[in-house]
């Protein structure tokens, strides 16, 4: 099964926002809770004519997550000179509704210390998804004539996306943290034009985008997954 990697920032933006909760100073560890959410469920399509602007409205979006890898440089305190490279992980599998703002993938337990150069890699394996898609997106496409057409995107390949901290993000394991990975659907569909959609093959009146249907559109979306190289981390 082919695997493709998503390095989140340009085509699918991963924004990690940290909200901290102070723990008792005697605690020997803390928890990083990892959440994921899709944004921009409604946005216009790049049009080729002067008629009304067509648009997408997405109603369902989910991913079957298999694993979270947390990598960082760990120091004993903020004033320590030396550091060690660490790798913690959470294992699923778990189906995540990306339109639910409370969708928690899992939790990473952090040992006491200070963490810098942080990255999170979310992995989703076809073997863990079973009969369900690895990633699924569905809604409607309204074309320039006002016709509303059902549309779906189905990914049934192993995928992984990595979010890397920028600009001095530090986690201190005397706090608990919550992270949010934001998948920007408008950027996922970057480069999909009205002209592409208007000639798409319909299956029972629906635009089905997968590795077996409307393959050129599928490859554009898959290319968007692969076109980025960093992610932004914001502390709440």
Greater pLDDT, 139 or 28: 139
Instruction: Give the residue among 214, 174, 178, 223 at the shortest CA–CA distance from 196.
Output: 214
For 143, half-sphere exposure in the C-beta direction (CA atoms, 13 angstrom radius) is 15
Q: What is the mean pLDDT of residues 141-168?
A: 85
pTM: 0.82
pLDDT at 173: 76
Q: Given a cut of 70, is residue 179 above it in pLDDT?
A: yes
Average pLDDT of the residues of the chain? 80
The predicted pLDDT at position 46 comes to 57
* Residue from 153, 178, 162, 96 nearest 123 by CA: 162
Amino acid 22: pLDDT: 54
What pLDDT is attached to residue 141?
A: 93
Q: Tell me the percentage of the chain whose pLDDT exceeds 90.
A: 36
User: Strand, coil or helix: what is 72?
Assistant: strand
DSSP one-letter string for 168-221: ---EETTEEEEEEEEEEHHHHTTT-BHHHHHTPPEETTEEEEBTTBSHHHHHHH
């Amino acid at each position: 099964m082919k695997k493709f990697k998503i390095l989140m920032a340009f085509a699918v933006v991963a924004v990690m926002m940290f909200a901290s909760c102070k723990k008792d100073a005697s605690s020997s560890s803390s928890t990083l809770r990892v959440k994921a959410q899709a944004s921009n469920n409604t946005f216009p399509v790049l049009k080729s004519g002067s008629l009304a602007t067509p648009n997408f409205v997405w109603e369902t979006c989910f991913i079957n997550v298999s694993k979270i890898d947390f990598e960082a440089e760990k120091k004993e305190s903020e004033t320590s000179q030396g550091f060690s490279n660490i790798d913690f992980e959470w294992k699923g599998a778990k189906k995540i509704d990306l339109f639910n703002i409370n969708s928690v993938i899992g939790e990473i337990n952090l040992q006491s210390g200070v963490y810098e150069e942080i990255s999170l890699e979310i992995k989703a394996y076809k073997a863990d998804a079973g009969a369900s898609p690895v990633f699924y997106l569905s809604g409607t496409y309204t074309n320039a004539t006002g016709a509303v057409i059902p549309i779906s995107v189905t990914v049934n390949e192993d995928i992984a996306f990595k979010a890397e901290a920028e600009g001095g993000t530090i986690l201190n394991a005397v706090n608990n943290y919550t992270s949010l990975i934001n998948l920007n659907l408008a950027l996922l569909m970057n480069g999909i034009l009205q002209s592409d959609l208007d000639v798409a093959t319909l299956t029972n009146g629906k635009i089905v985008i997968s590795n077996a249907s409307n393959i050129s559109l599928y490859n554009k979306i898959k290319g968007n997954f692969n076109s980025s190289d960093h992610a932004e981390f914001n502390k709440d």
